[in-house]
Amino acid sequence: MMRSPLIVFRKEILDNLRDRRTLWSALVFGPLFGPVLFAMLINIQLDRALSKIDEPLELPVSGAEFAPNLIQFLQESNTTILPAPPSAEDAVKARLHDVVLVIPDSYAERFRDGEPAVVRLVADRSNNEAQRQLARARGLLARYSNKIGAMRLQVRGVSPLVSHPIVVEDIDVSTPQGRSVLVLGIMTYFVLFAMLSGGMPMAIDTTAGERERGSLEPLLALPARRPQILAGKLAATCLFMTLSLMITLAAFAISLNFVQLEKLGMSANFGPDVAVKVFLIAWPFVLLGGGLMTFVATFTKSYKEAQTYLTAVLLVPTIPIIFASIYEVQAKLELMAIPSLSQHLLITELLKGNELNPAWVAVSVGSTLLFGLVLAFLAAKRYESEKILG
Amino acid sequence: MSRDTGTHAVLSDFLGTHTVIVVDDVRKSFGNVKAVRGVSFRAEDGKITGLLGPNGAGKSTTLRILYTLLKPDSGTASVNQHDVLNSPVAARSTMGVLPDPAGIYPRLTARENIAYYGRLQGLDGDRLDKQVESVIELLDLSDFADRRTKGFSHGQRSKVALARALVHEPHNVLLDEPSTGLDVMATRALRNVIRQLRDQRKCVLFSSHVMQEVAALCDAIVIIDKGKVVATGTPDEIRAHTNKDNLEDAFVAAIGSAEGLE
């Protein structure tokens, strides 16, 4: 009876569409979680990075009276001078201030004599927040020092250029898209996560759930062939995963419009055409993910048990992605044979604005589908075994 | 009492009855546990055959082998001449099965639950609708047929599960402990349905650990204990064989104790 997979498929879809929890987690929460969190995180980071530059640097100064010119320079350079706490070290340790500038009373005398005048910046190196403030304060002091140095040379009739034997110019060859990949690289995982979590309730309901309800035994006593029953169930899981994938990509395409990546010199190369390509690259993973979840779920006896194991399965696709990020793996043909890593590398290429190598795409799609078919076959074998009843 | 089933089969043919379910020296172990240790019996058309035995006697395992969920370690079993090992799908297609437990889908209505099984049995279109309607009537489900089965009572769920098993008018009906947990009215309704099936010349095979139920319903009884058949025959034959007038005493005599029976 070749109609069996279709009958099972339609029943599972109808059945699960009536389950609000499944719908929420499969088609709303799962797919939107990534894009929303992603946009929020990036925006918060952008806000912090951008606003700190415009904000005046708040700098408590002790001994300001010994260096009025320096203080004036700092104030002209967008620094708010605050009265110094009695003990700079204690104030910084207690995190009352991030950075405190201490000007010793010897400053004026040494400055006048043309000797290096010492000032101290007190900061806590373990305080991340203080690093930016410290760097800004140090930069301002260095600028002032250079300025005074240049003036002194000029007064002595020497060109200030003499003191700059080498000038370093940084030339950054990364494209704006290339820079954004650092941020967008994590997106692959969100996409695969949404896809898997979209199919998870269905994969559980159609296997462990069926067993827990006691409806599996009568179903298997029907004349339909068991691999066909499994095919219908797997197809239903795959449909939910596909929908979830579509929703999450659409949400990414929309939410990235609200992220002002341009302000960081990046551009989000994620228009509708890229979204479609990402979909086509990620789609073969649906069979693999669905097959994997169904196969794992056949070993479990209850909904809860299946949930525990499948939540661990959600982490599996992260492993290659994490390794790729740590070792800064570059895309090459052999790596396209590894599912999840190949999707990650191809999607990254797309986000960089690069053309995709057709051979890479072919190997990625082929190997991912092959893994998926093997898992589906293993799950079907489990259905044919008597152990399926537990 | 007819331990010689060969003679019995010849006699049956002569009387115009047909043996449709044949179990011959079936054995099945799970690890070290020998669940079934050489069970043989036959069930015929137009008769209600009861598998009686205490809990853990091997009744469910025997039925599961018949509806091909389990494979026997040795021995053979066939249904309508379809061997359960060689042609399991053909064997299953002749049966309507009510296993224990027989869960139904809570988010589907009673009618949808029944129709799902009808479709998987190959019914569709008008024929499906007609058959679904007819089992809904047979089991008196009309009042709640279009409600989702979540929240149904145990009796209601059992009726839906039975209707689902009968939707394709199977020739053989296998019921595993069908009356467990049913109240008096539901049990009566179940017995009426089983008798109707018998009157339609179907072969009904059901298991039970309740002596009164088997005594009240069955035309033929197979008593199983510790994975073996200890007695087969009509209630009269069993009474005669054990020299007991009372069927209950006869059962106890056959099994050797009343443990596990009700």
- Reported as a pLDDT band with limits 50, 70 and 90, residue A257 is confident
- Token readout for A12 is 């599972």
pLDDT digits (tens, 9 = 90+) for A213-255: 999 999 999 999 999 999 999 999 999 999 999 999 999 888 8
What pLDDT, on a 0 to 100 scale, did the predictor assign at position A358? Answer: 93
Neighbours of B13 (CB within 10 A): 11
CB A246 within 8 A of CB A191: no
Alpha-carbon dihedral sign for residues A226, A227, A228, A233:
positive
Radius of gyration in angstroms for the set of CA atoms belonging to chain A, rounded to a whole number? 31
CB within 8 Å of B47: residues ≥ 6 apart: B17, B198, B203, B204, B219, B220
Compare CB distances from B103 to A8, A18, A214 and report the shortest one's residue: A214
Closest CA to A46 of A34, A38, A36: A38
Helix (H), strand (E), coil (C) string for chain A: CCCHHHHHHHHHHHHHHCCHHHHHHHHHHHHHHHHHHHHHHHHHHHHHHHHHHHCCEEEEEECHHHCHHHHHHHHHCCEEEEECCCCHHHHHHCCCCCEEEECCCCHHHHHHCCCCCCCEEEECCCCHHHHHHHHHHHHHHHHHHHHHHHHHHHHCCCCHHHHCCCCCCCCCCCCHHHHHHHHHCCHHHHHHHHHHHHHHHHHHHHHHHHHHHCCHHHHHCCCCCHHHHHHHHHHHHHHHHHHHHHHHHHHHHHHHHHCCHHHHCCCCCCCHHHHHHHHHHHCHHHHHHHHHHHHHHCCCCCHHHHHHHHHHHHHCCHHHHHHHHHCCCCCCHHHHHCCCHHHHHHHHHHHHCCCCCHHHHHHHHHHHHHHHHHHHHHHHHHHHCHHHHC
CB A61 within 8 A of CB A84: yes
Please give the model's pTM, rounded to 2 decimal places. 0.79
pLDDT digits (tens, 9 = 90+) for A107-142: 888 888 888 888 998 988 887 777 878 888 888 888
Neighbours of B217 (CB within 10 A): 20
User: Taking CB atoms and an 8 Å limit, are B67 and A221 in contact across chains?
Assistant: yes
The CA distance from B95 to B177, in Å, is 16
What pLDDT, on a 0 to 100 scale, did the predictor assign at position B257? Answer: 65
B69 chain-A contacts, CB cut-off 8 A: 217, 220-221, 386, 389
B92 chain-A contacts, CB cut-off 8 A: 221-223
A225 chain-B contacts, CB cut-off 8 A: 89
pLDDT digits (tens, 9 = 90+) for B86-126: 999 999 999 999 998 889 999 999 999 999 999 999 999 99
**Chain B residue at shortest CA distance from A18:** B107
CB B159 within 8 A of CB B189: yes
**Chain B residue at shortest CA distance from A219:** B117
- Reported as a pLDDT band with limits 50, 70 and 90, residue A80 is confident
From residue A365, alpha-carbon distances to A329, A372, B163 in Å are: 20, 10, 46
The CA distance from B254 to A154, in Å, is 123
Classify residue B2 as left (phi > 0), alpha (psi -120 to 50) or beta: beta
Kindly provide the ipTM of the predicted complex, given to two decimals. 0.88
What pLDDT, on a 0 to 100 scale, did the predictor assign at position B1? Answer: 41
User: Taking CB atoms and an 8 Å limit, are B102 and A217 in contact across chains?
Assistant: yes
User: Taking CB atoms and an 8 Å limit, are B99 and A218 in contact across chains?
Assistant: yes
CB within 8 Å of A362: residues ≥ 6 apart: none
CB within 8 Å of A66: residues ≥ 6 apart: A103, A104, A105, A107, A108
A220 chain-B contacts, CB cut-off 8 A: 69
User: Taking CB atoms and an 8 Å limit, are B93 and A19 in contact across chains?
Assistant: no
- Reported as a pLDDT band with limits 50, 70 and 90, residue B168 is very high
Q: Does A28 have pLDDT greater than 60? A: yes
State the residue for tokens 């296998």.
B174
The CA distance from A62 to A88, in Å, is 8
- Token readout for A217 is 């035994």
Kindly report the backbone phi and psi dihedral angles of residue A59, in degrees, each rounded to the nearest multiple of 5, phi listed first: -130, 110
- Reported as a pLDDT band with limits 50, 70 and 90, residue A270 is confident
